[in-house]
Chains A and B, each alone.
Chain A
Amino acid sequence: MIEIIHPGIMSLVVDGGRFGYKEVGIPTSPALDIYALGILNHLLGNEGNAPAIEAFGGKFSLRFAKNVYCAITGAKVKASLEGRTLQSWMSFEARAGEVLTVDEVREGFRYYVGFSGTPVLDKIIGSYTTNLECRFGGYRGRAFKKGDSIDIEDIHQVDVKRIPDKFIPHMTPPHILRVVEGPEINYFTDESREEFLGGREGTAFTVSTQLNRTGIRLDGKPLAFRTDAEESIISEGLLPGSIQVPGDGLPIIQLHERTLGGYARPALIARVDHDLLAHLKPGDSVIFEMIEMEEAERLFDRKIETVTPIGN
């Protein structure tokens, strides 16, 4: 069993996501950094999409009531176990009664905490992940509060190991997000498209404070709609990572919580960079760089191949 002493700014249960029912609006709600979740579970000898805690902000703290192996991946944090300093991206053994504390987030935004065993949680519609808006899945369908506790079953032993640096992503801004063309790219002026999608030669946006697990709103120079284009579309199916632009011209990066949308989508984030979206935080600088679809496919396949040796 583990007991939450402090939930950080927010922490909740996530897994690989909920699939197969988007036709009735049920979103995926997965871990935003699926790569970090996969490596975490690899370190702990769990199935790759097994549930774990996704958290952000410092002060996150929990107490172990059983001996178990634990690890933290995702954002690079300064953490300690009973005063002994711990590193991110490595497994460690925790003994009953010991307290784990995340003191500070040094690079990135969201971090993942997992255990070598099966946490006892609510499995709803095939997944343990939390749908915060509709309050189901995970831990009673909500974020953690002080004093919550989770039982862990089937605790197994693992070898303590560390993920080599070359497998740990960089999460420092400016974030260069590669994108592919979206269905409504032609709704925007040529000039606006060049600036928006021009990579380092283009304009940078800033992550606003309007940011949650549903979407990330950006500040910067608004995109200009062509005079003959509508400012909205008839609502239709939306893919995760789509960049939606409402009438005010400021882009919103949609994450995984919405299945339909009615705003124009000039582009969407290439899958190779989806994990990075978990680490955008208010004030960070973001640059979009348009790539071809074939390039996006190749980059994603290469990312998967790269981690195959470490068992993701």
Chain B
Amino acid sequence: MNISRYGEEGIRILFGETIDLEIHEKVRRYYFFLKSLQLEEITDIIPSFRSCLILFDRKRTSYEALTVSLRDREFLIAHIDIPEPKTHDVPVEYGRENGFDIDFVASHTGLSEDKIIEIHTSVTYKVFAVGFMPGFPYLGILDQRLYVPRLETPRLKVPEGSVGLAQLQTGIYPFESPAGWRIIGRTNKKLFDYNKEPYSIFQIGDKVRFIRA
């Protein structure tokens, strides 16, 4: 665990250098540890693949005081209750009509559309992070055979529910938005609702299975 300062109100805690299930589990434990402390001086926590970013209120504490206080309580990590990850089934309509890039993915990978769908639906993915936009899940780890680069110039708009691939990740756009990932299909599952908690159906550590609709 490597703690460093990021900006005036950020503490960046690194748990490793790669995208890895074990490293991510450490991030997740630490995130729930931080939440369990319910510290007023922590205004936000952003857990992701290999790090937790803590945003703190400098009117209430200092970088030094908060890092010491966290170290003093670290022993609690082994004792806190970590919620069981939820499993979500996401129905997807794959194919050209909703998945503008499926032809590109086929030519880049040398796989047929059916094979792409078969591989994409055969893995239970883990939610490594939620963010960039509200409710967007970064899912991994994608089968190597579906590795595709991001678009060089992102699309200005993809529809809500678009399912994309980028490197060894797959994800779902909860809103119509600009997108740099390769879109292979679309779901009608509602991922984010700003009117009721939990606003995002996904939280880190959850599992996601895609089902061909």
- Residues of chain A touching chain B, judged by Cβ–Cβ distance below 8 Å, are 19-27, 124-125, 131, 133-137, 180, 182-183, 234-239, 241-242, 258-261, 268, 270-271, 293, 296-297, 300
Contact = CB atoms under 8 A, between A and B. Distances in A.
A234 B8 contact: no
B175 interface: yes
Interface string B1-42: 000111111101000001100000000000100000000000
A24 B203 contact: yes
B131 A259 contact: yes
A24 B45 contact: no
Nearest to A125: B194
18 contacts: A20-B44, A22-B46, A23-B203, A24-B202, A25-B133, A25-B136, A25-B200, A124-B194, A124-B195, A133-B177, A134-B175, A134-B194, A136-B194, A237-B52, A237-B53, A260-B46, A268-B7, A293-B5
Given A134-B175, A236-B51, A183 B46 contact: no
B92 interface: no
Instruction: Give chain B's interface secondary structure class.
Output: loop
Interface in B117-163: 129-136, 138
B104 interface: no
A236 B192 CA distance: 21
In this complex, the interface size class of chain B, counting residues with CB under 8 Å from chain A, is 35 or more
Given A235-B129, A260-B129, A19 B135 contact: no
A177 B12 CA distance: 23
A242 B48 contact: no
Contacts of A242: 7
Contact of B199 (A24, A27, A183, A235): A24
Contacts, number: 130
A183 B5 CA distance: 8
B31 to A, nearest CB: 7
A263 B48 CA distance: 14
A19 B44 contact: yes
Contacts of B138: 235, 260
B51 A237 contact: yes
B194 A180 contact: no
Nearest to B42: A20
B30 to A, nearest CB: 12
B133 A133 contact: yes
Interface in B168-198: 174-175, 177, 192, 194-195, 198
A260 B48 contact: yes
Contacts of A27: 133-134
B164 interface: no
B106 interface: no
Given A20-B43, A134-B175, A237-B12, 19 more contacts: A20-B44, A24-B192, A133-B177, A134-B133, A134-B192, A136-B194, A180-B8, A183-B12, A234-B48, A236-B129, A237-B48, A237-B53, A237-B131, A258-B132, A260-B48, A260-B132, A261-B132, A297-B8, A300-B8
B199 A234 contact: no
Name which of A238, A242, A259, A297 has the most chain B CB atoms within 10 A of its CB: A259
Interface in B47-77: 47-53, 55, 58
B204 interface: yes
B138 to A, nearest CB: 7
Contacts of B7: 180, 182, 239, 241-242, 268, 271
B65 to A, nearest CB: 13
A133 B160 CA distance: 12
B45 A23 contact: yes
A259 B132 contact: yes
A183 B175 CA distance: 30
B9 A239 contact: yes
Contacts of A180: 7-8
Nearest to A180: B7
Contact of B130 (A19, A23, A133, A135): A23
Nearest to A22: B44
